[in-house]
Amino acid sequence: MTFTITSLRPTLCIFTLFILFFFTLWSINRYFYTKLEEIEEITSEQSDININRKYCTADKCKFLFTYTVEEQESQSNRHFESLIQIAQQLGRTMVLTNVEKSRISSRNHFPFNFYYNVDELSKEFPQVKFILQCEFQKWAEERYNKSDTIHVVLENSKSNPNYTVQYDTPYIDELVKEYEMDRFNLKLDNSTIFKRISIGTNGRSPRKGGKNNDLKNFLSEELESNAEVMLITQKGIRGPIFERLTPIPYASHITNAASNLTNQLKPYIAIHWRMESAKLNLMPKCAESLVTYLRNLSLTTGITTIYLATDYPLAEYKNKTAQSETFSHIYEEHHTAMKILNSSLNINTWVSTHALDYLQLTLDPTKKELLLKELSGGGIQGIFDKLILIQADYFIGGPKNCCRYLSTYTLQVEEARMQLLKNNGTIKNKIDRWKLY
């Protein structure tokens, strides 16, 4: 299996050759100038249609390009699904935006299928066409006429249930500076419509969604546009906009690696210790309590294999950085807590088990540095850990003050475990939390 890394350099050579060709003819014989201009137009039009057919099997392409999604993976996964639902509503091809460090954004270096299973996604949305960002970029680059755009921001409100529409002054400079939007070779200028739409009080809870047919109809009308590319993003939306779906399934290389490890470990107890936002001075006591709890659980269940998923830095990359972007300061107390845990029990992690070493072999060797950064900063191993937590015989979270107590990451694990508990009795609990003694 190989992952191609998006090239950021536009390939303009076909276009340049084309221009050169006509320019030469023009210099040779000015008399034909107007005629040639006509021919060029017809030729380019035919060529653009051919290019469109190649990339979206239609004479005209209409894409929905979510160039950035807020929040980390468990949340952005669901936000991305809401945007696919909009693409379906509009009959637009969904661009599968790049991923890296637990984020979905056009600036990232890994293709969407590094994290997610595109075949499974297509099965869940049989009416939606998908295209990887690198292919979309190639389409935009190959085009003779730049493709036109519309820019949309979706937001919501705490108190105003009304749907509203506002038009903003184009902020191209910001899009170029923050998202390198100029590298897509799109027609993005002051003539581009910048629309800001409030979806009322919808999309405020990660736990809730709804059919929202009136919102669907409203968006279908408001987002009706001939523009070939709809650039879309959202601000402040924290939950599903429509029906709450199961998360986008993860790429089979990750699920395979995870089932390999669960087969080796089973039966096992998995601990999720997210140290971010824990009370610092409690950290050593939290660790001692966890050790006591685990010794007792091992004694009563006979299960001695322990797997730890944590945002504490496990991989060495220059300075040890946390395995979550939002966890920025690692203090002595965190190190002490980890020492207490690690010296008392035999702890398995994705590092100690070498479960992700295969990535080094399958990725393009020139991208080694990128992969090291990815593994040091809470990206793909966060997904891997999630899969190991889901399959564990016992899943143990931290008590209040010892960890970040509530997160959509934990919620996603709990929901998947609920399904497993319902379907078969191979796991023993949904979640238990160790007690602070």
Ligand X SMILES: *[C@@H]1O[C@H](CO)[C@@H](O)[C@H](O)[C@H]1NC(C)=O
Task: Take residue 413 and report the two structure tokens written for it.
Answer: 């694990």
Minimum gap (Å) between residue 353 Cβ and ligand X: 10
Place of tokens 């276009």: 15
Q: Which of 43, 252, 304, 342 binds ligand X (CB under 6 A)?
A: 342
Decide: is 190 part of the binding site for ligand X (CB under 6 A): yes
User: Which pair of structure tokens corresponds to residue 153?
Assistant: 């921001």
Is residue 336 a contact residue for ligand X (CB under 6 A)? Answer: no
Binding-site member from 29, 201, 220, 260 for ligand X (CB under 6 A): 260
201-230: b (≥16 Cβ within 10 Å) or e: ebbbebeebeebeebbebbeeebebebbbb
- Candidate residues 283, 338, 383, 413; the one interacting with ligand X per rule CB under 6 A: 338
Interaction residues for ligand X, span 352-411 (CB under 6 A): 358
Instruction: Kindly tell me which of 118 and 291 has the beta carbon lying closer to ligand X.
Output: 291
- Which listed residue (217, 256, 277, 326) binds ligand X by CB under 6 A? 256
Nearer to ligand X, 206 or 382 (CB): 382
Give whichever of 134 and 421 is closer to ligand X, judged by the CB atom. Answer: 421
Beta strands in 275-358 (DSSP E): 306-310, 347-348
Q: Does 426 bind ligand X (CB under 6 A)?
A: yes
Binder of ligand X out of 314, 380, 390, 403 (CB under 6 A): 314
Query: What whole-number distance in Å separates Cα of residue 106 and Cα of residue 97?
Result: 6
Helix axes 368-376, 380-391, angle to 10 degrees: 50
Which CB, 60 or 207, lies closer to ligand X? 60
Q: Which burial class, exposed, middle or buried, applies to 384 when counting CB atoms under 10 A from its CB (0-12, 13-18, 19+)?
A: buried
How far is it between the farthest Cα atoms of the chain? 94
The full DSSP string for 197-234 is EEETT-S--TT-----HHHHHHHHHHT----SEEEEEE
Q: Which of 119, 168, 180, 189 binds ligand X (CB under 6 A)?
A: 189
Site for ligand X (CB under 6 A): which residue of 9, 158, 211, 318? 318
CB of 278 to ligand X, least distance (A): 16
3-class SS of residue 117? coil
CB of 147 to ligand X, least distance (A): 9
264 is a site residue for ligand X (CB under 6 A): no
CA dihedral 13, 18, 132, 376 (to 10 degrees): 20
Closer Cβ to ligand X, 213 or 424, answer by number: 424
Q: Name the residues that contact ligand X, by CB under 6 A.
A: 41, 44-45, 48, 145, 160, 162, 189-190, 256-257, 260, 296, 300, 314, 318-319, 338, 342, 349, 358, 420, 423-424, 426
